[in-house]
């Protein structure tokens, strides 16, 4: 199964390379891809490892790490929209308030994490109450 999946992955990579090479701006795409690799290996991966090491001794560290990773992904997705040049010639292009949307999304993630943490704590207390005393 791994061999089939690996062969399919290599075939898709080759197809992607051919499609990129046929574009007029293939060098721009290749520079963007190289920048993505440098950004991932030079910034994102070390940052994730550092956060993992710093939160290693905390309670609910899995929940905290998941919350931080989700928030970081939301920021990375929103970053190009937040850093876009202003104003645009066409007012219908990207007309939404993206900083407000990002803040709302981050607040929802934090609220869900707090609810999940509270649920785990409550469930832990009820389990302790169910255990008969010896």
pLDDT digits (tens, 9 = 90+) for 23-60: 777 788 788 888 889 988 998 889 888 988 888 888 88
Measured between alpha carbons, how far is 12 from 43 in angstroms, rounded to an integer? 27
Residue 20: C-alpha distances to residues 6, 10, 93, 128 (Å)? 21, 15, 26, 59
Q: Rounded to whole angstroms, how far apart are CA atoms 29 and 35?
A: 10
- Distance, in Å, from the CA atom of 32 to the CA atom of 18, rounded to the nearest integer, reads 16
Model pLDDT for residues 72-88, shown as the tens digit of each residue: 889 988 888 888 776 66
CA distance 99 to 130: 46
């Amino acid at each position: 199964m791994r061999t089939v999946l690996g062969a399919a992955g290599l075939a898709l990579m080759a197809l992607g390379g051919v499609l990129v090479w046929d574009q007029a701006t293939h060098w721009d795409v290749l520079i963007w891809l190289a920048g993505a690799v440098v950004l991932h290996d030079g910034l994102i991966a070390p940052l994730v490892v550092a956060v993992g090491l710093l939160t290693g001794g905390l309670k609910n560290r899995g929940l905290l790490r998941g919350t931080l990773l989700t928030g970081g992904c939301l920021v990375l997705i929103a970053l190009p929209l937040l850093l876009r040049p202003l104003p645009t010639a066409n007012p219908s292009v990207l007309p939404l308030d993206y900083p407000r949307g990002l803040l709302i999304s981050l607040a929802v993630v934090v609220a869900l994490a707090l609810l999940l943490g509270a649920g785990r704590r409550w469930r832990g207390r009820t389990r302790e109450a169910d255990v008969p005393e010896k």
